[in-house]
Structure 1
Amino acid sequence: MSPSASTPEGGSEASVSLREVGEFHLIDRVTTGRSQPDTTLLGPGDDSAVVAAPDGRVVACTDVLVEGVHFRLDWSSPDQVGRKAAAANLADVAAMGAVPTSLLVGLACPSTTPAAQLEELADGMWAEAATVGAGLVGGDLTSGPVIVVTVTALGSLQGREAVLRSGARPGDRVAVCGRLGWSAAGLAVLGRGFRSPAALVNAHRVPEPPYSAGPAAADAGATAMIDVSDGLLADLAHVARASGVALRLRSRAFTVPARLSEIGSALGLDPLRWMLTGGEDHALAATFPADTPLPAEWAEIGVVEAVDDAGPVVTVDGRPYDGEAGWVHFAKF
């Protein structure tokens, strides 16, 4: 697909707006000629899509990304925003132990938005979906004061039982898979006006969730699982409350990557705090029975215990963590 938008008359200019191109012409541009997985029985173009559900169940989730809150176009390209929007939802499907199959996309934006930006955003979503063999099967486009991307992901359990937040039991081990703290470090770098180190900045722009680790954890007997979107401590707190247990993490179980240590030292910030409280890496956290070998690439970070007078909590080295445990929605906007 060309990076520039084509007008209905055949012209090609990167500055052509959605108002000039028109809703349906843009939809044709971002859907025509795309390949779909076998699970897509009917893709874009009708009132609804038709997606296969071989075992009779569908895993479904939705996330909303708002310009100025979840992304900035002076920090990220439209393609990167599209990949990030898709990844946030695909990771939620994986956290249930399922395999993603399809995405539905709702997009609101000003009519003056360059159509080329929206094509690039769609390119990013298609590209991220392709990494797990999923397709974009439909959606909606409307006007709004800023760009808002809403993605609904569908997935297949392929005969597995869904891994819930409520299954952790005393004696289980707590483990994680995927990067922690990289997106938060990248955000800190961008917030200081820098664009490097590229590895950290790009981790904030485009997360790399360990999608296959979700089904692998389910197959290995995971008792509870969650996508780390708001911060490890904040998200594990959901598991603690849903399961009625205490999760006891050990700081020495975390290996701080050299890149995080270097930038933490340069900025005067604690890299372990990024790993414990930073969001948007979309790593996976899960609990496993003590006698169950952990799947490849999963690392043990703590244990599950019965609750005491403090109730369902997450502690680090035996104490509640000092400061915010992660992103708090509606605290700043």
Structure 2
Amino acid sequence: MTLTVADLSESALLARIFPRLSRSTSVLLGPGDDAAVVAAPDGRTVVSIDTQVQDKDFRLQWPNGYRTTGYDVGFKAAAQNLSDINAMGAVATSMVVSLTLPSTTDVAWVEGLAEGLNAAITELGAEDCSVAGGDLSGGSEIVVTVAVLGSLEGRDPVLRSGARPGDVLALAGSAGTAAAGWALLEGSTPSSEFTVEMAEAVRLFCRPQPPLAAGPVAARAGATAMMDVSDGILRDAGRIAAASGVRVDLEPAALVPFVDKLAPIAAAVGADPLAWVLTGGEDHSLLCTFPDVASVPAGFAAIGSIMPGGGTLPPVTVGGGEAARLAVTTVGWDHFAV
């Protein structure tokens, strides 16, 4: 008989969760009291929060047959929030988790979620961070909300609004891979028939790999603007452009390596790999601007330039022309788009 949440009390379920979570030195008082106590030696705290909702952000079972594990959801919930802290040039120090569960949820799924949260913190290199506490509730669908706190460690935050004409736009991480993974999960090819490249795309969609070391490195290198790529390069570069009052021009040749990497998967599912690269969300890569090419750190790929704002061109162009000329019909993910 499968053990479900309905078979346990809240205290009994928490007793299965807590042992799966490690404790960092930044968390002075962790789960067990009414509130946690977290060290803030910098005197300032960076805060980010994200929510994953069943059948909106993930499916328990996808059309191709893949079953989303609690580990997947926990890993992604931690990774997407750690990425936002990283995009400020900060270092994560703690997270709190709010979890809504239907009574029919398998306890093993919830245990996997706790293990996924912890694994993301460890594997992504957020060694100063741990889960400090949270909340449990019941509901008709699974909802996971994670808030992460971070420290600037004496540096100024790097904002979206600092890009200037003449800057270089650079990317750390992948582009379009998560979109390819999503397309595979929504398709008809079972996971057992995936190529190595297909399996990797699905893995990166379910368990993103934000380059956490890149944020502080970019800040120290003089990055003028930074942003997590959660909704696609076009949409998120457009946010930098809007905040900074500039225009972004992407270099087509710089996008070719990302396109070529995804081309075999795109051919198999009848998709456009360039559209994935430009508009695919949830890679949680890091998009930065730097004063010049010489200041772009190792691990970043220069993919465009910052131009003066104004005029008749859209805020983000590709090779000086509108993205529409490349048969891209969307500018990226929007939760409320029809």
User: The TM-score by the shorter chain falls in which range?
Assistant: over 0.9
2:78 & 2:248 partners in 1: Cα distance? 30
- Residue 292 of structure 1 deviates from its aligned partner by 4.4
* Aligned-partner SS, 1:286: strand
1:249 & 1:32 partners in 2: Cα distance? 47
The question of 1:330 aligning with 2:336 is answered yes
Structure 1 counterpart of 2:24, from 31, 37, 40: 37
- Number of the residue aligned with 1:21: 8
Letter in 2 for 1:223: T
Alignment size in residue pairs? 319
- Number of the residue aligned with 1:210: 211
Deviates more, 1:126-135 or 1:276-285: 126-135
1:272 & 1:49 partners in 2: Cα distance? 45
Structure 2 counterpart of 1:136, from 127, 131, 137: 131
2:57 & 2:223 partners in 1: Cα distance? 30
Structure 2 counterpart of 1:102, from 94, 107, 114: 94
Q: Residues 237 and 258 (structure 1 numbering): CA distance in 2 closer, same or farther, change over 3 Å? A: closer
1:127 & 1:268 partners in 2: Cα distance? 34
Letter in 2 for 1:235: D
TM-score normalised by structure 1 residue count = 0.92
- Number of the residue aligned with 2:57: 70
2:19 & 2:108 partners in 1: Cα distance? 15
TM-score normalised by structure 2 residue count = 0.91
- Residue 268 of structure 1 deviates from its aligned partner by 2.2
| 8 Å Cα contact 1:245/1:311 also seen in 2 | no
Deviates more, 1:258-267 or 1:78-87: 258-267
- Number of the residue aligned with 1:190: 185
Letter in 2 for 1:115: V
2:136 & 2:213 partners in 1: Cα distance? 31
- Residue 69 of structure 1 deviates from its aligned partner by 1.2
2:313 & 2:261 partners in 1: Cα distance? 36
| 8 Å Cα contact 2:210/2:283 also seen in 1 | yes
2:20 & 2:37 partners in 1: Cα distance? 18
- Residue 308 of structure 1 deviates from its aligned partner by 2.4
1:28 & 1:224 partners in 2: Cα distance? 43
| 8 Å Cα contact 2:234/2:279 also seen in 1 | yes
Q: Residues 201 and 32 (structure 1 numbering): CA distance in 2 closer, same or farther, change over 3 Å? A: closer
1:33 & 1:86 partners in 2: Cα distance? 14
Q: Residues 259 and 53 (structure 1 numbering): CA distance in 2 closer, same or farther, change over 3 Å? A: same
- Residue 35 of structure 1 deviates from its aligned partner by 3.0
1:258 & 1:100 partners in 2: Cα distance? 34
1:71-110 Cα distance to aligned partner (Å, 9 max, x none): 1122321101110111010000000001111111011111
2:258 & 2:225 partners in 1: Cα distance? 25
Structure 2 counterpart of 1:60, from 47, 61, 65: 47
1:112 & 1:262 partners in 2: Cα distance? 40
Which aligned runs of 4 or more in structure 1 are off by greater than 4 angstroms? none
1:154 & 1:292 partners in 2: Cα distance? 32
Percent identity of paired positions between Structure 1 and Structure 2: 48
Where do residues 1-333 of structure 1 align in structure 2 (5 Å cutoff)? 15-32=2-19, 34-74=21-61, 75=66, 76-131=68-123, 132-133=126-127, 134-194=129-189, 195=191, 196=194, 197-254=198-255, 255-256=257-258, 258-290=260-292, 292-310=294-312, 313-322=315-324, 323-332=329-338
| 8 Å Cα contact 1:30/1:122 also seen in 2 | yes
Cα-Cα RMSD: 1.5
Letter in 1 for 2:32: G
1:8-34 Cα distance to aligned partner (Å, 9 max, x none): xxxxx6x21112111121112111374
- Number of the residue aligned with 1:3: none
Deviates more, 1:80-89 or 1:285-294: 285-294
1:137 & 1:312 partners in 2: Cα distance? 44
1:22 & 1:38 partners in 2: Cα distance? 30
Deviates more, 1:146-155 or 1:284-293: 284-293
2:247 & 2:261 partners in 1: Cα distance? 31
1:159 & 1:252 partners in 2: Cα distance? 38
| 8 Å Cα contact 1:93/1:155 also seen in 2 | yes
Gaps of 5+ in 1: 1-12
